[in-house]
Amino acid sequence: MPAPLLHTVGLTKDYGKYRALDSLDLSVAPGEIVGLLGPNGSGKTTSLRLVLGFLKATRGTATVDGFDSWKQSVEVRKRLTYLPGELRLYETMTGRELVTFLGKLRGDTVGAEVDALAKRLDIDPDRRLTEMSSGMKRKVALLAVLVPKVPLIILDEPTNTLDPTMRDEFLLQLKLAKEAGKAILFSSHVLQEVEAVCDRVVILRKGQLVHHQEMRELADIRRVTATFIGAIPPHGPAGELLPADAVAGSNLDLEYRGPLPKLLHWLGECHLSDLKIEPSGLGKIYRFHHGNG
């Protein structure tokens, strides 16, 4: 894994007696997508604003490509693009004018790549934003984030107002940006999106990092839900006693980690009326930390 491009150490933000973020250690390397999860008030947006240099940390540091986010914020912003959850765009501009203007601010030039991506996103880049719906404006903002030649992309709830087709296209563009070596920090409430593109996930709760998850570790964990005809065997696929909380009457809800053939062989010897096998995913982990919202 390359050295981190984005790095925070002990990053903390207080508002009087209220601590919005508490000692966040976070890194994102080139060619990596990291997901930032948590409900409203968990510290996600505060984290992003500290990295961007919009806020001054109470203590701790945030750096991008070795530059301090607060003390060297201009250098930091030259190296990233940012999509906020709530858009504030220059509405008298066209999409092309906006992308060109924002590029010039960081000394960047844009060309035919605007048209290529605009076609993928199904928008006219020469139409004024005042004539666009909220969904179309979001697509223009995606143009402004994805087109520039910068090493870091920061996204806060990027798929707001996008329809399902455009969400899929956006996630594809994130994967392509990752393959091109960009580092991406991606905040979202939608677990399916995070699971689809992220390499790692961190979960925040009340300003603290409460869980770090490598997504590849979840690939070998499967959730098995089944309805049995008759009694459920006391022992599971690996010969272990089934957990008591996995069995409810004739229903089984089991988290299985192990080879798939062994699981299928065990299920093949059972009498079932219904069966579902799916990746375990982030849902159970997220609910563990945020079951009460």
Structural domains in the chain plus CATH codes: 6-217 (3.40.50.300), 219-290 (no CATH)
pLDDT of residue 109: 80
How many Å separate Cα 186 from the centre of its chain? 4
CA distance 167 to 159: 6
pLDDT of residue 93: 94
Work out whether strand 183-187 and strand 32-37 pair parallel, antiparallel, or are unpaired: parallel
H or E, element range at 285 = helix 283-290
Weakly modelled stretches of the chain, pLDDT under 70: 1, 291-293
pLDDT of residue 293: 42
pLDDT of residue 279: 79
Long-range contact list for 44-49, CB < 8 A, 24+ apart?
44/156, 44/187, 44/204, 45/85, 45/156, 45/187, 46/13, 46/20, 46/21, 46/207, 47/8, 47/11, 47/21, 47/204, 48/82, 48/154, 48/156, 48/185, 48/187
Exposure string for 199-225, b = 16+ CB within 10 A, e = fewer:
bbbbbbbebebbbebebeebeeebbbe
pLDDT of residue 230: 85
Q: Is the pTM of this model over 0.95?
A: no
